[in-house]
Amino acid sequence: MTHETTSARSITVANAGLDVLEHVLSYYIRTLNIAVSRDLDDKLEGLEVAKGTGKITTLLLVDRHPGIRPSVIAQLILRDRSAMVRLVDHMEEDGLLTRKADEQDNRAQGLFISHKGKQLAAQIRPIVVKQSRDFFSDITDQEHRMLTSILERTYRRIAGLNGNGETGR
Amino acid sequence: MTHETTSARSITVANAGLDVLEHVLSYYIRTLNIAVSRDLDDKLEGLEVAKGTGKITTLLLVDRHPGIRPSVIAQLILRDRSAMVRLVDHMEEDGLLTRKADEQDNRAQGLFISHKGKQLAAQIRPIVVKQSRDFFSDITDQEHRMLTSILERTYRRIAGLNGNGETGR
DNA sequence: AAAACATAGTTGCAAACGTCCACTACTCGG
DNA sequence: CCGAGTAGTGGACGTTTGCAACTATGTTTT
């Protein structure tokens, strides 16, 4: 049917409707994700934790909860254990943290932050917070808080931070 | 400083605080993204448009705007042109759309949906909408609308589709 | 106490992207 | 006509991610 009349050049970024996606939350989450991730990477350039939510979250979690286990972090960042292993490998190589076998449970291990890791964590915290705030510059503080708390709800369910846990893989 | 009393095994998914990330919108965007993407992939399993926001958006855009150019779509989905080329390659191979050289501008091309593509688009629309709604099941309709429109604001700025409709190109 | 089952970490493999960069073809303004 | 900018393409890389299989260890059953 339609294929000739609509002059292609009239379809610009500014006037192209997104079809149903315009009202689909997941579309914005998915798209904004790539933008916000890119932006964050820039802000973190050179800091050994660029790329991926994983490193940052892991660093902060280990700093905050000495002895936390890889598998727990994996659940929180929604990755599988194998991905987690590599993450820890890298971070250990970079001297940000260390593994220590758990004394009670020999198959488990605990993660501990290094001095260098601690400093990096301290350095990163303000950057991460500010980045998020700056990125969503056209959102009021109130809206920002609201979004955060609403999304937190879904996140907690998915990650199993609520009642009991499902793995939501 | 929380640490000694906290034996490693007591740090569970349920009680591990996320440090500053707890109040960082971008953290939720980034993390939820991977969950929502996985979920969507499941719902779309087998449908030739699984994986990545790109295919779906492209399909719907081409269906909606016959003759739209790859570069325009690229801007909307926040990818670079080369990524777009491959996307179109695949979709053309799959018989979802076709390229046609633009008559006015020989360096450009227009994308047109195929019959198969049109059917797929029709099939996908409800799924995508429902998926988003279902995924964020613990959010009220009103909140969902609010989130969508707030995020849309940021998206539009990022993608450069603000204000005026036809910025002379 | 042995067997069966579950959990933590690990590794290999392979698919899927995204990014950077260079290159061609073409348009347009001056 | 020239120079600048744009559209599409292709190649090479480096990463990330997911799956499946495997080990070691812990827990539960019978």
pLDDT tens digit at each of 169 positions of chain B: 433 334 555 788 888 789 999 999 999 999 999 999 999 988 888 788 877 788 999 999 999 999 999 999 999 999 999 999 999 999 999 999 999 998 888 999 999 999 999 999 999 999 999 999 999 999 999 999 999 999 999 999 998 876 544 433 3
Report residue B3 as tokens.
């640490």
A51 touches strand C (CB under 7 A): no
Q: Is any atom of strand D within 7 angstroms of residue B88's beta carbon?
A: yes
**Chain A residue closest to B37 (CA)?**
A30
Domain CATH code at residue B139:
1.10.10.10
| Residue A136 is assigned to a structural domain of this protein | yes
Contact flag A68-B102 (C-beta cutoff 8 Å): no
Say if CB B91 and CB B58 are below 8 A apart. yes
Q: Classify A110 as helix, strand or coil.
A: strand
Judge whether B6 lies within some domain.
no
Q: How many domains does chain B have?
A: 1
Q: B25–A57: do the CB atoms touch at under 8 Å? A: no
- Distance separating alpha carbons of residues B73 and B81, to the nearest angstrom: 9
| Nearest-angstrom CA–CA distance, B135 and B151 | 17
> Is B11 contained in some domain?
no
User: Is residue A78 in some structural domain?
Assistant: yes
Three-state DSSP class for residue B79: coil
Does B13 reside within a domain? no
Burial B75-102 (b: 16+ CB within 10 A, else e): bbbbbeeeebeebbeebeeeebbbeeeb
Tell me whether residue A101 is in a domain. Answer: yes
What contacts A163, CB < 8 A, 6 or more positions away? none
- What tens-digit pLDDT sequence spans chain A (169 residues)? 433 444 555 788 877 889 999 999 999 999 999 999 999 998 988 888 877 788 999 999 999 999 999 999 999 999 999 999 999 999 999 999 999 999 889 999 999 999 999 999 999 999 999 999 999 999 999 999 999 999 999 999 998 877 543 333 3
Q: Which domain holds residue A123?
A: 23-159
pLDDT above 90 coverage of chain A, percent: 71
Q: Do B68 and A135 touch (CB under 8 A)?
A: no
- Does the C-beta of B9 come within 7 A of strand D? no
Residue B73: both structure tokens together:
């779509």
Q: Within an 8 Å CB–CB cutoff, is residue B104 touching chain A?
A: yes
Q: Does B125 touch chain A (CB under 8 A)?
A: yes
The pLDDT tens digits for A8-34 are 557 888 778 899 999 999 999 999 999
Round to whole Å and give the CA distance between A153 and A7: 45
Is B96 in the A-facing interface, judged by CB distances under 8 Å? no
**Which residues have C-beta within 8 Å of that of residue A105, sequence separation ≥ 6?**
B9
Burial readout A60-97 (b: 16 or more C-beta within 10 A, e: otherwise) = bbbbbbbbbbbebbbbbbbbeeeebeebbeebeeeebb
Q: Is residue A165 part of a domain?
A: no
* Residue B1 forms contact with A (CB below 8 Å): no
**A16 belongs to a structural domain:** no
Q: How far is the CA of A103 from the C1' of D25 (A)?
A: 12
